[in-house]
Amino acid sequence: MSSKRVTISDIAQKLNISASTVSRALKNHPALKKETIKAVQDLANKLNYQPNLLALSLRQKKTNTIGVIIPEITSHFFSSIITGIQDVLVNSGYNIIICQSNESYKEELAIVENLLRIRVDGVLVSPSSRTKKFNHFSKLKQSGVPIVVFDRDCPNLEVDKVLVDDYDGAFQAIDYLIKSGCKKIAHLSGPKNLSTTNHRLQGYLDALKKNNLPVKEEYIVHASGFTHEEGIQPTKTLLRLKNPPDAIFAINDCIAISAMYIAKKLDFKIPEDISIIGFDDEPHTRYFKPALSTVWQPVYSIGMLSARILLSHLKNPDNTPKLRKEIFKPELVIRHSSIKI
């Protein structure tokens, strides 16, 4: 930061008036003489005056900055949510600090400390998959920083939440697979103890139950993360079973794509031999051969709504309305990697 930036008192001096007059002139205070206002604004422009938001923040105890904590930014899922968040918040004059936890609880803790120090006005967070305690978030809340949790739930944490009905998304997918004739449906699940993982697993289980299909332990395999690489081994485990599945429901599209890749390598025909359904509807997926069936989530809306809810808190800081828990419905998108009903 340069030290030679022009300030209000610089302008005041040159004009032989007081700093407060300059301050008022800059915001067109009605009680000022028009000439004064004009003189000040002209000089301000000429000198390229930029208000120092730092000083303003300090005075107003308000930084107009929001912290956003996500597991990682390179996934299309989270970066799309961020776009939704930014579109709302930037338009309301807020700055956004995006922080990646890299799925690490420890980094998440450090991030929260930092956000506290820089005095963000609010926080939007999707916790890491390794986060089991949420005290750090409670701490934020206790310090008066409103929080909205999105996508991944923090059970028992009493804050506003914007989630997706993962249970329903999974249920729809499995129900469809069964109706299309699949009987041996496997689930490439995600990291354990994550709300999204759990809910999708439960949807899977209940859909089987409802259709009187047995649950086979060996058909449920957990990937340790959400990348392609992490999908390879679990898929192999599944397809090398003596009695391999005739359908795979994957925790997300990357894993589903790995599954397609391995399935083809092992000479399974998709969808004749095996149906595959993913989750997220990433932009690439429709261009695969066969085009991937998947469960679409309203990513952009998730971001927007989370931001809007946070905004509403920032506007009425005092009143504590009852907790909001918004749940979006996902939609099954059937393409060609699963048999049509």
User: Which of these ranges, 13-21, 259-267, 281-289, 297-305, lies near DNA under the rule CB under 7 A?
Assistant: 13-21
Give the CA distances from residue 282 to residues 72, 248, 285, 295, in Å, rounded to whole numbers and listed in that order: 16, 18, 6, 10
Candidates 125, 148, 163, 260; binder of its own copies (CB under 8 A) is 260
273 binds its own copies (CB under 8 A): no
Cβ proximity to its own copies, 116 vs 220, nearer residue: 116
Which positions ≥6 away from 287 have C-beta within 8 Å? none
Candidates 144, 155, 214, 321; binder of its own copies (CB under 8 A) is 144
Cβ proximity to DNA, 118 vs 341, nearer residue: 118
Candidates 45, 61, 93, 243; binder of DNA (CB under 7 A) is 61
* Locus of tokens 């103890």: 193
Separation CA 22–CA 152 (nearest Å): 48
User: Which of these ranges, 12-20, 101-109, 172-180, 218-226, lies near DNA under the rule CB under 7 A?
Assistant: 12-20
Candidates 46, 269, 284, 329; binder of its own copies (CB under 8 A) is 284
* Locus of tokens 């996902």: 330
The partner residues of 150 in beta bridges, in order of sequence, read: 162
Q: In the complex, what is the shortest distance from the CB of residue 30 to DNA, in angstroms, rounded to a whole number?
A: 7
Separation CA 37–CA 132 (nearest Å): 57
**Pairing relationship of beta strands 331-333 and 147-150 according to DSSP bridges:** unpaired
User: Which of these ranges, 191-199, 239-247, 282-290, 301-309, lies near its own copies under the rule CB under 8 A?
Assistant: 282-290
Q: Between residue 243 and residue 262, which ones bind DNA under the rule CB under 7 A?
A: none
List Cβ<8 Å contacts ≥24 apart for 290-293. 290/260, 290/335, 290/336, 290/337, 291/335, 291/336, 291/337, 292/253, 292/256, 292/257, 292/260, 292/335, 292/337, 293/173, 293/332, 293/333, 293/334, 293/335, 293/336, 293/337, 293/338
3-state secondary structure of 245: coil
Task: Give CA angle at 260 (258, 266), nearest 5°.
Answer: 105
Cβ proximity to its own copies, 25 vs 120, nearer residue: 120
270-303 per-residue burial string, b: 16 or more CB within 10 A, e: under 16: bbeebbbbbbbbbeebeebeeebbbbbbbbeebb
Q: In the complex, what is the shortest distance from the CB of residue 68 to DNA, in angstroms, rounded to a whole number?
A: 24
287 binds its own copies (CB under 8 A): yes
8 binds DNA (CB under 7 A): yes
Q: CA 44: distance to chain centroid?
A: 41
Q: In the complex, what is the shortest distance from the CB of residue 227 to its own copies, in angstroms, rounded to a whole number?
A: 8
What are 215's two structure tokens?
Answer: 């649950």
Cβ proximity to DNA, 53 vs 215, nearer residue: 53
Cβ proximity to DNA, 144 vs 214, nearer residue: 144
Binding mask 18-57 for DNA (x = CB under 7 A): xxxx-xx-xx-x-xxx--x--------------xx-xxx-
Candidates 179, 264, 269, 329; binder of its own copies (CB under 8 A) is 264
Q: Which of 135, 143, 144, 166 is nearest to 153 (CA)?
A: 166
* Interface residues toward DNA, by CB under 7 A: 3, 5, 7-9, 16-21, 23-24, 26-27, 29, 31-33, 36, 51-52, 54-56, 58-59, 61
* Interface residues toward its own copies, by CB under 8 A: 1-5, 48, 50-55, 57-58, 61-63, 72-74, 76, 79-80, 82-83, 86, 95-98, 100, 113-114, 116-121, 139, 143-145, 227-228, 254, 257-258, 260-261, 264, 282-284, 287-289
